[in-house]
């Protein structure tokens, strides 16, 4: 009898294992199909299926299925260029899962996705920290091909970060590092083919900025000879327009700007649309004031819209980041998770109420506590973003000698010159200054160049470091 019971138990166990094996094979097949089909948008049906795959993998303790389904969701959200809150939540899920498995590849990729979300939302320093953390995890990956692809991505993202804060030398440094790694990836690799267009565009962009128009054209030609998405095509048109401006071919430049504008609006590529409007307003400067004002207004309206959207995304992230990890831990770690979740909620509420109170009472604080004013630079920056009228006075309260030191060097500096210097001291990027002043990036770059000459800052000196010491 005992043998019979044992036999039945073995048969049931084997049947269960066979069923489980079939489920896992089915999950792998579905994930493979999703990976091959990479839409720019994301349908509700596709999203629901991927989420279902994640939970089915979780029920079967299938780690690979859980992580890969979440990665596909992250990429889909990223392609939409607006669902960063959802991307943030899924990436945090991956991070929690991969930490338990010591899966450094997935950890590195999760940190990259988190960094991209933060970068797009304007949290530049936080984004950099995630990219640097990704590099640490990448160094622990044993497989050479995987390690190289991760290094390539990390260096590319760091290059983008330094470009956004206006440190082009550092941007070029990391772009060159990514290019060296790129050459190590086998030509047969699908990943190399996918990344090829990105690096060509990045290289073209840097060569345009450094006035090396011949090399810029070479890399744009490489992009033009490849098939690519509408987002890449819009970037291609925009960079082509900038290149044509550099070689003083204004007619062709305008044609490319118009192509980029039409396509960017069709696919709702708002970040690029703002750049296009700024460039077009600068293009029509002095020649056609009506068109210049038209594009300045369009840029201003869209920037406000993006800013409001980003704030909504940030609020969603603050609410969801705590919830995101609750589904990925087993029973043994659930109480630990609850503890940290409560802590996160408490700190989140403190931050929220602190920010709300700050916005309501800041002006009163300035009047009451000028003698011992100790606002953080982050709060000061927030005043600038909010275009608060007290910004300049507050800055002068915190840095009373800044203006006088600049005027000692060059008494002919104008108020706008001083204001640009203030933004540089606060480590605002060229792009951020352009947005705050509703002018083009090129106009800011021109102003910064004139400031260098006016203040005697040597070409090899870091302008941001120089301002920080004033």
Count structural domains, the chain: 4
- Residue 28: the pLDDT is 84
Claim to verify: residue 412 and residue 440 sit in the same structural domain:
yes
SS3 396: helix
- Residue 369: the pLDDT is 40
Claim to verify: residue 48 and residue 127 sit in the same structural domain:
yes
Count CB atoms within 10 A of the CB of residue 7.
10
pTM tops 0.75, yes or no: no
Is 331 part of a structural domain of the chain?
no
Name, in order, each residue with C-beta under 8 angstroms of 429's C-beta and a sequence gap of 6 or more.
124, 164, 165, 166
Q: How far is CA 3 from the centre of its chain?
A: 63
- Residue 326: the pLDDT is 35
Structural domain including 29 reads: 24-139
Is 9 part of a structural domain of the chain?
no
**What's the rounded Cα separation, in Å, for the pair 288 and 281?**
9
In this structure, what DSSP letter does residue 333 have? G
- Residue 377: the pLDDT is 62
Claim to verify: residue 108 and residue 28 sit in the same structural domain:
yes
- Residue 288: the pLDDT is 82
pLDDT tens for the chain, residues 1 to 470: 544 443 444 334 444 444 556 778 888 888 888 776 655 556 777 788 888 888 888 888 889 989 898 888 888 887 776 677 788 888 888 988 898 888 999 999 999 989 988 887 778 888 899 998 999 999 999 898 888 888 888 888 998 888 888 787 788 888 888 888 877 777 766 666 667 788 788 888 888 887 889 988 998 888 866 566 788 889 999 999 999 999 999 999 999 999 999 998 888 888 889 889 888 888 887 678 888 888 888 888 887 777 776 666 555 554 344 333 333 333 333 444 444 444 444 444 444 444 444 444 444 444 444 333 334 566 677 777 777 777 777 787 778 888 888 888 988 888 888 888 888 888 788 888 888 888 887 788 888 888 888 898 887 677 888 888 87
Name the maximum alpha-carbon separation found in the chain. 103
**What's the rounded Cα separation, in Å, for the pair 115 and 101?**
22
Is 15 part of a structural domain of the chain?
no
Is 69 part of a structural domain of the chain?
yes
Is 300 part of a structural domain of the chain?
yes
Q: Which residue, 275, 301, 325, sits at the end of a domain?
A: 325
Answer whether 91's CB lies under 8 Å from 73's CB. Answer: no
Is 84 part of a structural domain of the chain?
yes
**What's the rounded Cα separation, in Å, for the pair 199 and 191?**
12
Q: Could you tell me the CA-to-CA distances from 235 to 51, 98, 126, 408 in Å, in that order?
A: 32, 34, 26, 44
Q: CATH code at 250? A: 1.25.40.10
Claim to verify: residue 200 and residue 265 sit in the same structural domain:
no
**What's the rounded Cα separation, in Å, for the pair 456 and 413?**
13
Q: CATH code at 404? A: 1.10.10
- Residue 366: the pLDDT is 41
Claim to verify: residue 49 and residue 75 sit in the same structural domain:
yes
Is 163 part of a structural domain of the chain?
yes
Claim to verify: residue 117 and residue 156 sit in the same structural domain:
no
Claim to verify: residue 126 and residue 147 sit in the same structural domain:
no
Q: Which residue, 116, 139, 162, sits at the end of a domain?
A: 139
Q: Which residue, 297, 325, 353, sits at the end of a domain?
A: 325
Is 277 part of a structural domain of the chain?
yes
**What's the rounded Cα separation, in Å, for the pair 307 and 69?**
31
């Amino acid at each position: 009898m005992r043998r019979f019971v044992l036999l039945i138990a073995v048969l049931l166990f084997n049947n269960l294992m066979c069923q489980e094996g079939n489920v896992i094979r089915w999950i792998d097949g579905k994930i493979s199909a999703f990976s091959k089909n990479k839409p720019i948008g994301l349908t509700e049906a596709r999203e629901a299926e991927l989420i279902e795959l994640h939970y089915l993998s979780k029920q079967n303790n299938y780690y690979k299925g859980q992580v890969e389904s979440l990665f596909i969701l992250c990429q889909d959200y990223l392609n939409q260029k607006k669902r960063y809150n959802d991307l943030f939540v899924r990436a945090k899920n991956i991070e929690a899962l991969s930490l338990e498995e010591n899966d450094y590849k997935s950890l590195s990729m999760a940190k990259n996705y988190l960094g991209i979300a933060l970068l797009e939302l304007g949290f530049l320093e936080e984004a950099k920290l995630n990219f640097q953390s990704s590099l640490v995890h990448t160094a622990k990956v044993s497989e050479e091909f995987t390690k190289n692809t991760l290094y390539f991505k990390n260096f590319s993202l760091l290059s983008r970060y330094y470009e956004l804060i206006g440190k082009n030398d550092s941007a070029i440094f990391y772009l060159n590092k990514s290019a060296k790694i790129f050459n190590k990836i086998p030509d047969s690799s699908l990943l190399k083919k996918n990344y090829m267009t990105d690096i060509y565009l990045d290289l073209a962009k840097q060569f345009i900025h450094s006035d090396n128009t011949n090399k810029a054209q070479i890399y744009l030609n490489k992009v033009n000879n490849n098939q690519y998405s509408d987002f890449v095509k819009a970037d291609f048109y925009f960079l082509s327009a900038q290149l044509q401006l550099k070689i003083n071919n204004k007619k062709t430049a305008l044609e490319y700007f118009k192509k980029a504008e039409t396509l960017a609006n069709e696919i709702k590529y708002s970040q690029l649309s703002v750049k296009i409007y700024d460039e077009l307003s600068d293009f029509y400067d002095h020649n056609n004031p009506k068109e210049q004002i038209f594009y300045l207004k369009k840029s201003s309206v869209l920037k406000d819209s993006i800013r409001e959207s980003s704030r909504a995304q940030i609020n969603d992230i603050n609410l969801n980041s705590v919830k995101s990890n609750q589904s990925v831990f087993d029973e043994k770690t659930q109480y630990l998770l609850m503890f940290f979740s409560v802590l996160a909620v408490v700190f989140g509420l403190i931050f929220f109420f602190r920010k709300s109170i700050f916005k309501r009472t800041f002006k009163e604080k300035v009047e009451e506590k000028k003698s011992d004013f100790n606002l953080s630079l982050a709060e000061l920056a927030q005043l600038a973003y909010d275009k608060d009228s007290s910004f300049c006075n507050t800055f002068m309260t915190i840095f009373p000698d800044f203006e006088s030191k600049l005027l000692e060097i060059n008494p002919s500096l104008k108020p706008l010159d001083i204001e640009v210097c203030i933004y540089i001291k606060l480590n605002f990027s060229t792009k951020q200054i352009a947005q705050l002043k509703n002018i083009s990036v090129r106009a800011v770059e021109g102003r910064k160049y004139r400031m260098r000459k006016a203040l005697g800052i040597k070409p090899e000196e870091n302008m941001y470091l120089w301002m920080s010491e004033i």
